[in-house]
Amino acid sequence: MGAGLAGSFGRAGSPGAAHSAYRTSTATVTRRTLVSQTQVNATLGDAGSYNVVNQASGTITALPVVGEVERQGQVLYQVSGAPVVLLYGQVPAYRSLSEGMTGPDVTELNADLVRLGYATRTALGPRSGWDYFSSETAYALELLQSRLGVTAPDGSLALGQAVFLPGAVKITVMGAGVVPGGAATPGTALLTASSTIPVVSINRDASQQSEVKVGDTVTITLPDGTTTPGVVSLAGTVATTDSTSGATTIPVEVALTHPAAAGHLSQAPVTVSITTGSVSNVLVVPVNALLARPSGGYAVEETGPQGHHLVAVSVGMFDDAAGVGMIFNGELYNFPQLREELAALIIVEDRRRSIHDFLNALTSTIVSVTGGHSAVHDLDQPLILIVRVRACGLARGVAIVVVAE
């Protein structure tokens, strides 16, 4: 059948909806799988920020350029003409390393030498023994030092010859007073750098914590309108309250499936579509095809050779992102999701009563009003408020239809 689309601000449920002065169109009711999604605003940024702490003594003779990307095995800066190389690792440089020493810093040095091609797994032996600085480690390190131009390489790593960071970095800020010719003092942060791995950060309403978990797949809409897939890598459990807005949120982070899709974007606004549920083999109509009946409940307007007439329906799951919803006859389908946080559209048909009366009628279900009209300007049109509710219920003169926020 065709479902009549009386615009969201039309007189819902009016017998003459088909001949309304408002523009209408038709859509086909389809049977398919419906995925419920909600869209949230987020920020595309970097996975982390790091201070580059110098451990060498002397005079700064070379520095990187802000915006430059540095990777493992490359020279970060020079002190008194000697190169300081970037290596990957979680343990910062805090001592000189030489043959016979052991520890987690030795483990990350051996791993770096293998990744850079100066040592082999076979030569270093079982991975469990990589925490030992062997003669093979010394030989591989001497090869790296020769390539970097170290004067008289000896196969040991003096404190200050390397900086260990978790991964590749982009130089973002020079330290105060850090210039070529300036003094290099051990323990001083010369540079600030950021990770080159893009990450999407979301401040998710704490009441919706159960909707997101690590491993969930999402769709990210970039500023140019293109989309790229992502996976939730962090779903915070500790909520914080903003002192200005009073909003209570939890941190959620999303890793891009294809990091290159981020390009050179940094601190860019994006939109994330989060899947909150799904159901198969159901009737689906656009949200704005649903008409709120004055007597309560919902209907769609069927068109055909016999003319136009209203068909009473009940509502179930809604796809906030696509703007479509599930309909069925009989009792309201008791989806567990409908008993949790849902976005809802309240259409007030009785304009003689205060909107606060209607909100008070749903006090037990409303969490917060998040948008809509605060004043009535056209009494011929229903007032629309977008609220967040805990359940899908009805009050006299009020029809609740789940739609996008």
pLDDT tens, the chain, 405 aa long: 444 433 333 333 334 444 444 456 677 777 777 777 788 899 999 988 999 999 999 999 999 999 999 999 999 999 999 999 999 999 999 999 999 999 999 999 999 999 999 999 999 999 889 999 999 999 999 999 999 999 888 999 999 999 999 999 999 999 999 999 999 999 999 999 999 999 999 998 888 877 788 998 999 999 999 999 999 999 988 888 988 888 899 999 999 999 999 988 888 999 998 877 777 777 777 767 777 777 777 777 777 777 777 777 766 665 555 555 554 432 222 333 322 233 333 333 333 344 444 445 444 443 333 333 333 233 333 333 333 333 333 333 333 333 322
Strand partners, 292: 298
pLDDT at 393: 39
pLDDT at 319: 57
pLDDT at 294: 76
Number of H helices, E strands in the chain: 4, 26
**CATH 2.40.30.170, the chain: domain bounds:** 41-46+197-276
Nearest to 297 by CA among 317, 320, 315, 318: 315
Nearest to 14 by CA among 380, 383, 345: 380
Beta-strand ranges (E) seen in 63-182 are 69-70, 75-79, 82-88, 162-165, 169-174
| CATH number, domain 41-46+197-276, options 2.40.30.170, 2.40.50.140, 2.60.40.10, 3.60.10.10 | 2.40.30.170
Instruction: Please name the residue that has the structure tokens 């009494």.
Output: 379
pTM above 0.75, yes or no: no
- How much of the chain is in helix, strand and coil states, percent to nearest 5? 15, 45, 40
Residue 262's SS3 state is helix
